[in-house]
Structure 1
Amino acid sequence: MAERPTTNWRRGIAEEAAELAAGTLNPDCAGMVDLYPDELLSATDAVLGAFEAELSTLDIRSDEQVFALVERVVLALNALNEAHDECAFETDEREQLCLYIDEALTEQGVDVPALTSRHGLGRYELTDQWRDW
């Protein structure tokens, strides 16, 4: 399965903590824990977990079902971002989340370029019509 962005974010937190403990990182330069608080990571994992559960039962031949699933995960991430004062996901996080959705769909057998092309979209516009973050 595609690696969740939260896995990458947690890895960054652990690496930063190790650097702080080793004295190789100035504490004034550390910020991963503030950028990715536990509440945000847990809530994001819950949203992505629900997406993965639905993905496993998805009829990949149905564009409507695929788009409905993408819409649900994006709207849930919108709500999460809104709950964090519109600051939960910055540019890098947005790109990771969009890539994750694309990769997860692809691994399930969805031809994302063909899907988006059939609907007059570029491949990387899959989430755009719903995404606020």
Structure 2
Amino acid sequence: MAERPTTSWRHGIAEEAQELAAGTLDPDCACMAKLFPEKLLTATDAVLDTFEGELPGLGRASDEQVFAVVERIVLALNAVDEAHNGGAFETGEREELCDYIDESLTEHGVDVVALTARHGLGRYQLTDRWRKW
């Protein structure tokens, strides 16, 4: 099952907190909690919850239906990013979110390579039409 990016982000926060508590990390080098405040994690998880609820049956859906689901998650993530002054998702986070979307669709029977090819897109252009983050 595709792992949510928020899971690894939370893990990073917890790891950093342990290192700070143990004195093995200089507080000036700690950044995870600042990069991923709980409000951002909660909002992102809410978007991912909705997306995951739409996944069952997509392997039998039309291209238009799959693209509609992708559009909805991307627009919702755009709103999360905008609520955090356009700085919620940096390059690494963008890649994790896009990989998560791709892997989740694939796990539910969507051939992402074939889907994007039918529409003149490369696999990694699946979210580009709507993505602002």
* Paired letter, 2:25: L
CA contact (8 A) 1:78 1:131 kept: yes
TM-score normalised by the chain length of structure 2: 0.97
- Cα distance change on mapping 1:111 and 1:59 into 2, 3 Å: closer
Gaps (5+ residues) in structure 2? none
Structure-2 residue corresponding to 1:116: 116
2:10 and 2:30 mapped to 1: Cα distance? 14
TM-score normalised by the chain length of structure 1: 0.97
2:99 and 2:53 mapped to 1: Cα distance? 18
Structure-2 residue corresponding to 1:89: 89
CA contact (8 A) 1:59 1:65 kept: no
Q: Which runs of 4+ in 1 moved over 6 A?
A: none
* Paired letter, 1:78: N
2:3 maps to 1:7:
no
Report sequence identity in percent.
Answer: 73
1:61 and 1:127 mapped to 2: Cα distance? 18
Structure-2 residue corresponding to 1:51: 51
1:2-41: CA deviation from partner (whole Å, max 9, x where unpaired):
1000000000001101111111100000010010000000
Gaps (5+ residues) in structure 1? none
Count of matched residue positions in the alignment of Structure 1 and Structure 2: 133
Alpha-carbon shift at residue 93 of structure 1 (Å): 0.3
* Paired letter, 1:31: C
1:52-93: CA deviation from partner (whole Å, max 9, x where unpaired):
001124353410110000000000000110111000100000
Structure-1 residue corresponding to 2:99: 99
Structure-2 residue corresponding to 1:73: 73
Structure-2 residue corresponding to 1:128: 128
